[in-house]
Amino acid sequence: MFLRVLSVAGRLCVPLWLLSVLISQAPAQTNSSKPAEKPPAAGQETGKEPQKIDEFAEAQRTLSGPAGNPECVWLGRRVVSLLWRDDLDTAFRHLDLYDRFGCPGGHIQATFRCLILHGNAIDPKAADSLNGRVHACWINPLMPAPPPPPPAAGEPSPPASH
C-alpha cells in the first residue's frame, strides 16, 4: 500500500516540478531576447502597405461598380498577372474566386487586352514593371495603345494606300 502512495505522489510531483521549472525559466528567456519593437502608431503603416492602400483607394475613386472593390482589385490584378506569365491553372483558380465575389468578368478581359497592347512597356528585368502596368490597365483599361515605333533608317517605309 505504501508503494502505491509513493507512486501516486511521484506521478503528481513530476508534472508540478516540470511546471515550476518552465515558469522559472520564462522570465530569463524574455530578458535575454531583444526588446520588442514598438508597434507603429494607429495612422502609420510600414513598408508597402500605404502604397497598396493608396492603390485600392485610387481604384475605388476611379472605377464605378464592383471593379473598384478592394477584393476585386486584388484578385483581378492577380489573375491578369498570372495570365501574362502563362500560369493559366492558377489564374483560373483565382478567376473562380473573382467570380465568387461578384466581380465583373469583363473588366478582366479589358485589362488583359490593355496589358497586351502595352506589353512592350513591361521590362522583365524590373521587379514592379508588370505590377505597375497591370495596375495602370486596371484603373484605365481603355488606355490608348502607344504609337508604333518609327521605321529604322535602313528600312523602306510601307507604301501609302489611297
Does some domain include residue 144? no
Does some domain include residue 7? no
pLDDT digits (tens, 9 = 90+) for 109-143: 999 999 999 888 888 888 788 988 999 999 999 88
Q: Look at residue 10 in the predicted model and tell me its pLDDT.
A: 67
For residue 8, give the C-alpha cell: 501516486
Q: Look at residue 24 in the predicted model and tell me its pLDDT.
A: 65
For the chain, the domain total comes to 1
Predicted structure pTM score: 0.59
* Domain region containing 128: 49-139
Identify the residue whose cell numbers are 492602400.
53
Does some domain include residue 145? no
Q: Look at residue 85 in the predicted model and tell me its pLDDT.
A: 92
Does some domain include residue 11? no
pLDDT category at 43 given cuts 50, 70, 90 is: very low
Does some domain include residue 9? no
Closest CA to 108 of 149, 132, 137, 144: 137
Buried b or exposed e, range 141-154, using 16+ CB within 10 angstroms: beeeeeeeeeeeee
pLDDT digits (tens, 9 = 90+) for 64-106: 889 999 999 999 999 999 999 999 999 999 999 999 999 999 9
Does some domain include residue 129? yes
Is residue 7 scored above 90 in pLDDT?
no
More confident residue, 105 or 40: 105
Does some domain include residue 106? yes
